[in-house]
Structure 1
Amino acid sequence: MQQDPAPFSRHLRVHRHRDHTVLEFLGEIDIAAAVEITPYLDRVTARPEARIVIDLRSIEFFDCSGLRLLYRALIRTHDHGGQLHLVCTHPLTLRVLRITGLNRLLPPHPTPDAALGQSEATSGTL
């Protein structure tokens, strides 16, 4: 499998964990951050049967641009037969996920290990 080099971005750090690509969002996830993150997110989610974890534990701010990134990743991963897991512990972000209902499509977990311990059949399923 070809591995893209990690992008240079102040809003995204990429690494591997248990055969999954982890996209760790950093700092303020707003429209400017989304512009930086989207090209890499699109490459990763276009891979057939991609196994991805989006980790939001290092964010300080998360607006509707961040929600669009999560939903885009979910749809694209699902369309290519992949799996998407979400890690989030930030109380305000969890509240936004709950209010919008995105938490039902992409259940948040406290750690990558907890997310990957979840049944594969229920992760990021539409």
Structure 2
Amino acid sequence: MRQEPRQDPAPLTRHLRVHQDHGHTVLEFRGEIDIAAATEIAPYLDLVTARNGSRVVIDLRHVEFFDCSGLRLLYRARSRVLERGGQLRLVCTHPLTLRVLKVTGLSGLLPPLATLDAALGLPEATSGTL
């Protein structure tokens, strides 16, 4: 059975939820990720990606809109995590966001996974879904 992730009390913003799950810091982006949202998210993303050896998952499943500001966040997070010997995984299922990732080539650098379990390296059966 999959352990429920622990929700940290902060940061909680309109566009970001952060929690720990199986040794990973999971950043759930939410709603419309545009320049305003990116400005709100960036300080928290930088804090998480500043740690050496960090294991980070960015979860885009709750994103309704994603523009170049979101792409910059992903690319910056990837660069910072790799520079510090960490690991970054991406969860994305929204067809338009997947298309943006593919067209820009970012999906080649940061391949999107379909489930949080896959990003955490867990067997799919642990999620309790059929």
Which TM-score bucket, shorter chain as reference? 0.7 to 0.9
Deviation at 1:5, TM superposition (A): 5.2
Which of 57, 60, 63 aligns to 2:61? It is: 57
1:7 aligned residue: 11
Q: Is 2:116 the partner of 1:112?
A: yes
* Deviation by residue 1:41-86 (Cα, 9 ceiling, x = unmatched): 0010000000000000001100000000000000000011100000
> Counterpart of 1:46?
50
1:96 aligns with 2:100: yes
- Could you tell me which residue of structure 1 aligns to residue 83 of structure 2? 79
Go from structure 1 to structure 2 and tell me whether the alpha carbon gap of 1:5 and 1:46 turns closer, same or farther (over 3 Å shift): farther
Unaligned runs of at least 5 residues, structure 2: 1-7, 123-130
Residue identity opposite 2:22 in structure 1:
R
Question: Residue 16 of structure 1: which of 6, 9, 20 is its match?
Answer: 20
Aligned-partner Cα distance in 1 for 2:11–2:121: 27
CA–CA separation in structure 1 for the residues paired with 2:38 and 2:101: 17
**Which structure is higher in strand share?**
2
Paired residues, what number?
115
Q: Percent identity?
A: 73
- Cα pair 2:12 2:18 within 8 Å, conserved: no
RMSD: 1.3
Shift of 1:87: 0.1
Give 2:104's aligned amino acid: T
| One-letter amino acid matched to 1:44 | V
Unaligned runs of 5+ in 1: 119-126
Letter in 2 for 1:28: E
**Are 2:34 and 1:30 equivalent residues in the alignment?**
yes
Q: Distance in 2 between matches of 1:26 and 1:45?
A: 19
Secondary structure at the aligned position of 2:25 is classed as strand
